[in-house]
Amino acid sequence: MLSALSALRQTRPADEVLVLCDGCSDGTAEAVRALGDERVTAIELPKASGYAYGHRNRALELARSSVVTWLADDDLLLPDHLERVGEYWDTGMFGIVTTPAAIVHPDDSMEWIGQDWSVPWNRREMQHRNTNVMASVSVAVDLARDVGGWDAALARAADWDLWKRVLATGTSAAMTAEATVLHFRATGRDQAWPLRVRQNTDWLEKISDPARLPGARRTLRRLNAEHDSKLRQELAERDALLRQIHESSWWRLREDALRLGSRSRRLWRELRAALPHPGR
C-alpha cells in the first residue's frame, strides 16, 4: 500500500497503478479502492508460492501503458522518479531504463546499488550477478511480453532472469544520474513486522514532505559521490593491471624473438610494426 502511494505522489503522474494482491486477506484491496483514484486498480489473485512471479505477468497482460515498472510492496519511489526516467522514455530510443537505488537497512543506514547497462562491461557482469533492484528498472511493455515475461517456475531471482533476457535482445539501455528508489530488502530482513511498517511509513512521510525531501536527497547524493569515487579507483586499478599485462606481453615477445634466430627476428619486426609499444 505504501509503495502504491509513492507511485501516486509523482511530479509526473503515473498513467495507471496496478496493485497485485497475492492472496491478500488484510484488507489491502479494500484500502486501494478507498483511495478513490481512478488510476489505481486492485487485482485480487490467489496466494501463489514463493515470490509469486507468475502474478507479475498479470501486469503485463493488463497494462495499457507502453512502459512498466514493478514496485515491491516495501519499496518506495522518490517523487521525481517517473519524471527522471520519463525523460529517457520520451526520446523513443530505449527499451530499458534504470535508476540507481539506495538499500535502506533496518537502522536507516544506506547502501548504494545500481549499474548502467548501457556500459558493455556492466552488461557482461549482469550474466554473473544481478546489479539492480527490481523497482529501479523500467522496461517497454511489448519488449517484456516478447521475451516471455516472468518465469513463474523459478523459485528466486526471476527479475534477474527477465532483465538478462531483455538485454539479450540487444535493446538500448539508459540510466538516470541520481537515485530515485529506496529499496527495503524483504529476504533476510531481521526486523519485526511492526517495525518494518513503521520504518517504511517514516520514509514515505520524509520523501513526501517538501521540507524533509532535500535532506534525503543530500544523503543519496553523498552515496552517489562515494560510489563514483570507489568506481574510479577500481577502474584505475584495472587499467593499471591491463597495462602491466600488455607491457609484460610486449617485452616477452621481444625476448623470445631475440632468443630464437633470424626468422623469428623478422617476425618480431613485423609484430613490432603492428603492435603499439607500451611506452607510446
pLDDT in tens, 234-261: 767 767 766 666 666 656 666 665 565 5
Kindly state whether residues 70 and 193 are assigned to the same domain: yes
Same domain, 150 and 267: no
**Angle CA(2)–CA(199)–CA(178) in degrees, nearest 5?**
75
Could you tell me the residue range of the domain that residue 240 belongs to? 214-280
Domain boundary among 208, 229, 260: 208
- 85 and 220 belong to one structural domain: no
Residues 221 and 259 in one domain: yes
End-of-domain residue from the set 184, 208, 232:
208
Same-domain pairing of 155 and 233: no
- Summarised one tens digit per residue, pLDDT across range 62-113 is 888 999 999 888 899 999 999 999 999 999 999 999 999 999 999 999 999 9
Return the pLDDT at 45: 77
What is the secondary structure of 95-127 as a DSSP string? SEEE--EEEEPTTS-EEEE---TTSHHHHHHTT
Residue 176 has what pLDDT?
94
Task: Say yes or no to pLDDT of 203 above 60.
Answer: yes
Determine the average pLDDT of the residues in 121-141. 91
d(CA 216, CA 82): 18
Q: Which residues pair with 43 in a beta bridge?
A: 20
Number of folded domains that form the chain: 2
Q: What is the pLDDT of residues 31-52, one digit of tens each?
A: 878 888 888 888 887 887 778 8
**d(C-alpha 206, C-alpha 188), whole Å:** 25
What is the CATH number for 16?
3.90.550.10
Cα(2)–Cα(102) distance, integer angstroms: 17
Average pLDDT of the residues of the chain: 85
Give residue 134's pLDDT.
92
Q: Tell me which range, 105-109, 142-146, 151-155, 232-236, is most confidently predicted by mean pLDDT.
A: 142-146
Residues 42 and 161 in one domain: yes
* Predicted local distance difference test score (pLDDT) of residue 1: 72
Both 170 and 251 in one domain: the answer is no
Average pLDDT on 207-228 reads 89
CA angle 103, 110, 16 (to 5 degrees): 40
According to the 3-state scheme, what is the secondary structure of 169-200?
Answer: CCCCEEECCCCCEEECCCCCCCCCHHHHHHHH
| Res. 275: pLDDT tops 60 | no
> Quick one: 182 and 219 in the same domain?
no
Q: Do residues 24 and 152 share a domain? A: yes
> Do 165 and 219 have their domain in common?
no
Q: What is the mean predicted confidence (pLDDT) over 50-65?
A: 87
